[in-house]
Amino acid sequence: MPEPPTWTDPVEAGVDAMSTYAPYNLISAAANRTRDYLTARIEPDGAFRDICDSRVLESALYLRLLRMRKTHERAQRELAAYLYRIRPTTPLDRIARDSAFHRVPVDTAQELLDAFHHPAGSRKRRVLAAILVALGAPPRTVSDAPPHPRKQAAWTSLALCAADILTTRSPRRSSARGIRRRLRTARAGEVWQGNALAHLLALHALHTVDPLDAVTGTGVEALERIRNHDGGMPFISGQEVFVTALAVSALMCSGYDRTRLARCGDFLADCQLADGGWGYTAATTQSDVDDTARCMEALHALAPDRYRDALNRGRRYLRGMASPSGGFPTYVSHHELEADMTAGAIIALAPLSLPATLRSAAEWLVGQQCQDGTFPATWTIGRNSVSERVLHALSLTGHGAYADCAGRTIRALEMSQNPDGGWGQFLGDSSDILSTAHAVCAVAHYVRPPKTALDYLLDQQRHDGSYVSPADQVGPRPIPFNYPALSSIHALRALSTAPSVRSS
């Protein structure tokens, strides 16, 4: 493998920072193009709505459901055509695609289930088994006992009800009742909680219990409304709260006029849930630490006085999610603690003067660092996103206090940079926009980002100012999904680290 480039901080070297980057007009022009691309996509209500790319899994599950119901023949043809065109890249996708065209051997499904390991343990395995059954590729055995009944995220609870019906010989009667009760809470014509995968599993389970259940028919019509133009089905119907929050933060970093983003801030404030948190879409009632932190970060950057009440409610929500050890989970207190959630909470709470909470969270965070200087990725494929959140968080708690930890992370990023100036999701992978943008933003919290990385971003920009990148988000973990606009949003934030953009 070629030697990684060696970084030289122009400030430490006594060099004019502006002169070490591409000419002012090139970087500023690139940032302006991306900024124009993004602002043109903001809707009148202030939301930034993007379409989730179709996925093999949901498309195959939907096709099988329609075939069993013998309805929506045109949709069946289009789903089959989408699946025929796709070249799956994971074992689960291969099984999902193959199930649409021929019987999948039992041993193949069993091997996938046996090989699956995740910190969530039996809960994830049971849902995976239910997915395989719904695809018509049941494993030979499902060895795990039903998971311990504790509070779960809304869609996980629904998926577990479906799994009880799909994977056990004597399902609880309450499972079908629970599914019907939950699905009936969806707004008219909408996918339940915006989660197509959980919605599909629930409909498969109801079809098993009663093929003529009216709730299933209503649920199918909601799914048909979100099917993409390529014929496939996305994982979720929308992520407009999360994407809008990220877009606002990126635009603010680029120097965009905050008064022109007022409607975006109002949209985010209106999406705050009763518990003080935020969810990923306006269709959900499930709050989480990540979306709450992102929305608070955006609102504080935009107009902290205007959104003081929302920020205070968010602060109370986050403090209620903190564990005694200082770390934060994603959805439910007392669940697994995660580095990216904890870093996000620090970023959101830092402007609100909570020194004890911040110190405890930072101490927990430092303890999660891996030997190579990175941090465990939980909601992304690569680790650069987590590194960026951690370095941002640590920079807000005082550069000196955790300098050793930050230095190890920066060195890890330096060692993993590719010769073309970019980063891939893993060491040795080809460079991509998201991994590169996250890395640039990460190091910029402490040192000047390397010129070669910004050059890479300039070279990869499309004529309309947008960027494209492989999927990096995962959900449910560890299945990737993609929102194309995120590549441009993160790229704008990375371009904005250049002195020429910040000073323009």
Q: Which tokens is 184 given?
A: 């009936």
The answer on 362 and 406 residing in a single domain is no
Query: 325: domain CATH number?
Result: 1.50.10.20
The answer on 354 and 377 residing in a single domain is no
The answer on 461 and 408 residing in a single domain is yes
The answer on 432 and 346 residing in a single domain is no
In a domain, 46, yes or no: no
Alpha-carbon gap, residue 398 to 357, rounded angstroms = 14
User: pTM score > 0.85 for this model?
Assistant: yes
Question: Final residue of a domain: which of 318, 348, 366?
Answer: 366
Alpha-carbon gap, residue 202 to 223, rounded angstroms = 12
The answer on 82 and 69 residing in a single domain is yes
**Helix or strand holding residue 480 (H, E):** strand 480-481
Model confidence at 504, pLDDT cuts 50, 70, 90, reads low
- Tens digit of each residue's pLDDT (9 = 90 or more) over 110-119: 999 999 886 6
Ramachandran angles phi, psi of 343, nearest 5°: -60, -45
Summarize the chain as % helix, strand, coil (round to 5).
55, 5, 40
Ramachandran angles phi, psi of 244, nearest 5°: -65, -40
Model confidence at 400, pLDDT cuts 50, 70, 90, reads confident
- Tens digit of each residue's pLDDT (9 = 90 or more) over 459-485: 999 999 999 999 999 999 999 999 999
Alpha-carbon gap, residue 468 to 488, rounded angstroms = 7
Q: Which tokens is 291 given?
A: 């979306």
| pLDDT reported for residue 282 | 98
Amino acid symbol at 357: T
Please spell the DSSP secondary structure of 186-220, one letter per residue.
SPTT--GGGBHHHHHHHHHHHHHH-TT-HHHHHHH
Q: Name the percent of the chain lying above pLDDT 90.
A: 86
Whether the predicted pLDDT of 16 surpasses 50: no
Least confident of 7-11, 181-185, 443-447: 7-11
The answer on 230 and 283 residing in a single domain is no
| pLDDT reported for residue 323 | 98
Number of structural domains found in the chain: 3
- Tens digit of each residue's pLDDT (9 = 90 or more) over 251-276: 999 999 999 999 999 999 999 999 99
Question: Whose structure tokens read 């409610």?
Answer: 313
Q: Does 290 qualify as catalytic in the annotation? A: yes
The answer on 190 and 263 residing in a single domain is no
Model confidence at 11, pLDDT cuts 50, 70, 90, reads very low
| pLDDT reported for residue 501 | 72
Instruction: Indicate the burial class of 179 (C-beta count within 10 angstroms; 0-12, 13-18, 19 or more).
Output: buried
- Tens digit of each residue's pLDDT (9 = 90 or more) over 324-370: 999 999 999 989 999 999 999 999 999 998 899 999 999 999 999 99
| pLDDT reported for residue 19 | 42
The answer on 251 and 209 residing in a single domain is no
Please spell the DSSP secondary structure of 376-400, one letter per residue.
--SSBSSSHHHHHHHHHHHHHT-TT
Question: Final residue of a domain: which of 210, 234, 258?
Answer: 234
Catalytic residue among 50, 93, 288, 290: 290
- Domain hosting 11: range is 1-40+369-482+490-504
The answer on 416 and 448 residing in a single domain is yes
Whether the predicted pLDDT of 296 surpasses 70: yes
Of the two residues 170 and 314, the one the predictor is more confident about is 314
Whether the predicted pLDDT of 381 surpasses 60: yes
